[in-house]
Homo-oligomer: A and B are copies of this chain.
Amino acid sequence: MPNRKVVSFENLKVACKNCSLATLCLPVALEPDDVERLDSIVKRGRPFHRGDHLFREGDDFHSLRVITSGSVKTYSPSEDGSEQVLGFHLPGELIGLDAIQNERHSCSARALETTAVCEIPFDSLEELSSAMPSLQHQMYCLLSREIGQETEMLTLLGKKSAEERLATFLLSFSERFKKRGFSATDFFLSMSRHEIGNYLGLAVETVSRLFTRFQEEGLLKVERKHVQLLDLPRLNDIIHGIDSVRTSNQSRA
């Protein structure tokens, strides 16, 4: 098809200033000039396929990475072949922050689906942030937020029931999709039940049973990866330990 415009990734001059993720990503709170300077150090490679590693535990650390499309899981592999899933990352989210300290990745990251990322060489970013107080501030904020999110996760794993964990998980994705302009109630989860369970500190079977139960209770509709949240308020109640099942048992018939 000769008259169809060829769009190669090389030609696609995506720039931070045009990027729809700008409000979620590093450019937040930067002046246009500063965005331009940030843009100049960003590298955009070709996309990863499902299952590809963005990096592996032990790899030398050179760059932070921002997901621009698709999704990624980070995990920490154990000697015995098992792993701990550390997080699922959506467009606009920065990964690799844990690797700054010892210049080596302390976890692995793989694409859950076809995924594009921006690469930000950390050396350059450090230099730039030294010259650009607002960028430095943004970096401190991002790192701090990451810490805050992980402490929430500690509470989840330390104190919450299986039910509360899954509800928290689902509403977290709901909010994150919403922020990115997608539906807050109808989405596809790109990870397997196994990975969800691993992340939440639960067995696969428990996750599966909970999905079934939530569906029976009219909280959601689920078919494999496709999830539709039908009752956000009650899901919210569950997160906060309010046992809405007993309070309003709606099991049909």
Contact = CB atoms under 8 A, between A and B. Distances in A.
A145 B101 CA distance: 6
Interface stretch (A7-15, A43-51, A150-158, A220-228): A150-158
Interface in A112-134: 126-127, 129-130, 133
A141 interface: yes
A126 B133 CA distance: 8
Interface in A173-221: 198-201
Count of this chain's copies in the oligomeric assembly: 2
Interface in A18-70: none
A176 B241 CA distance: 36
Interface residues of A, number: 44
A200 B159 CA distance: 10
B101 A144 contact: yes
A125 to B, nearest CB: 9
A233 to B, nearest CB: 17
Contacts of A79: 240
A147 B148 contact: no
A200 B158 CA distance: 7
A140 B199 CA distance: 26
A136 interface: yes
Contact of A157 (B130, B143, B201): B201
Interface of A: 76, 79-80, 82, 84, 86, 97-101, 106-107, 126-127, 129-130, 133, 136-137, 139-148, 150-151, 153-155, 157-159, 198-201, 240-241
Given A139-B140, A150-B153, 6 more contacts: A76-B155, A86-B151, A150-B150, A150-B151, A153-B154, A157-B201
